[in-house]
Amino acid sequence: GGARPSPRRGQRELLPELFDSPLRGKLRGQRGIMAYPFFHLGKTAPSRELLRYDDGQVRIEVAPGPAGMATIYDKDLILYIASLMAEKMRRGELRPEDPRPDREFTFTAHDFFRVAGRDTAGKAYDRLLQMLQRLQGTQVRTNIEMGGEGTDGVFSWIDAVNTRYRRNARAEKELVSVSVTLCAWLYRGILSDTRLLTFAEGYFDLAPLERRLYEIAKAEDVDEAGWSIGIEDLHARVGTRGLLRHFGQFLTELERSQRLIEFEIGLHRPPAETQRRGRPGYEGTVVTLRARAPGLRPPALPAPSGAGDTTDGESAAKS
């Protein structure tokens, strides 16, 4: 075989100062990608369909790549990188006025798994590589501006990926580090956002639909006074492919359990006689989200096995 790398070279490649990880601060997010639907909510089969959103002001179109569309679970990695970036900004290592922005972030897979609460056994590393493929392959077009700049073209969440590995005693590949170049659009958004959202520790335990409700509430700065939205508009903002009726059933069950972290939810349905015959029973419903009083925790009720199911396990908690 070829020459083996010297131990000194191997040690140099693993020097901790070459890594942006570990993440020591809180999980952070950029409000633009929290407020609107950019990711497939299913957790099983990869989506091959376009995702479109248009409320007359904000327009989004997301197309899947060869490996399928990036999912809300793939978004965990974007949140992780945004959090690493926020820490570098706090330390003064990244500034908006930097003439040559460094959009590459290097981390260990183990640290990402730790932060996201993921199992490291079995095919965890293979799943990480598949996640990176979907994030790099998914194509996004939107009129949302980041850092005062927009883009008329199409971009992917990740511009480039470089993984480094070594061989163990059984000659198997072991992932050493991952280097990811974040797309310029999102990089500008994080760099210019003076109020990055801070996520609760239980975020990664939420099911996809619950995550979206939580993200929207955070992006809208929902407080104890509450924030209301029509169920049809919320259905679109969440980005679910499920029927409005199923979404309404899910919200009704969530109102009963109140298991959403940080926020309470209430539904205000119109009188039955005002609903049109043959229309979904939730038409015209107003949904109110309200911040929980400090110190109050949601009741420890288990998520139902089937109530509110929409499509591809959107309402099922992470396994």
Q: Are residues 274 and 230 in the same domain?
A: yes
Final residue before a domain boundary, out of 130, 165, 197: 197
Q: Are residues 68 and 188 in the same domain?
A: yes
Q: Are residues 192 and 209 in the same domain?
A: no
Highest mean pLDDT among 3-12, 40-49, 159-168, 190-199 belongs to: 159-168
Q: Are residues 53 and 158 in the same domain?
A: yes
pLDDT at 150 over 80: no
**How far apart are alpha carbons 136 and 109 in whole angstroms?**
17
Give the residue from 15, 59, 21 showing the smallest Cα distance to 38: 59
Domain of residue 37 covers 7-197
Are the C-beta atoms of 281 and 270 separated by less than 8 Å? no
User: For the whole model, what pTM was predicted?
Assistant: 0.84
Q: Are residues 48 and 70 in the same domain?
A: yes
Per-residue tokens: 62: 């997301």
Q: Which residues pair with 68 in a beta bridge?
A: 65
Please, what is the end-to-end C-alpha distance for the chain in angstroms? 42
Q: Residue 97: what pLDDT?
A: 76
Domain contains 303: no
What percent of the chain is modeled with pLDDT above 90?
55
**Cα 229 → chain centroid:** 22
Number of domains in the chain: 2
Q: Are residues 193 and 208 in the same domain?
A: no
CA angle 142, 203, 112 (to 5 degrees): 80
pLDDT at 184 over 70: yes
Confidence of residue 276 (pLDDT cuts 50, 70, 90): low
Domain contains 262: yes
Q: Which residue has the higher pLDDT, 25 or 267?
A: 267
Phi and psi at residue 93, to the nearest 5°: -85, -15
Q: Are residues 240 and 105 in the same domain?
A: no
The string of pLDDT tens digits covering residues 63-111 is 999 999 999 999 999 999 999 998 888 888 878 777 677 899 999 998 9
Per-residue tokens: 6: 């010297």
Kindly tell me the burial class for residue 148, based on how many C-beta atoms sit within 10 Å of its own C-beta (0-12, 13-18, 19 or more).
Answer: exposed
pLDDT at 319 over 60: no
Q: Are residues 262 and 280 in the same domain?
A: yes
Q: What angle, 0 to 180 degrees and rounded to 10, lies between the N-to-C axes of helices 231-238 and 244-257?
A: 100
Domain contains 96: yes
Are the C-beta atoms of 142 and 60 separated by less than 8 Å? yes
Domain contains 2: no
Please give the mean pLDDT across all residues of the chain. 84
**b or e along 240-266 (b: 16 or more beta carbons within 10 Å of the residue's beta carbon)?**
bebebebbbbbbbbbeebebbbbbbbe
* Token pair 């009129």 in the structure block, residue: 143
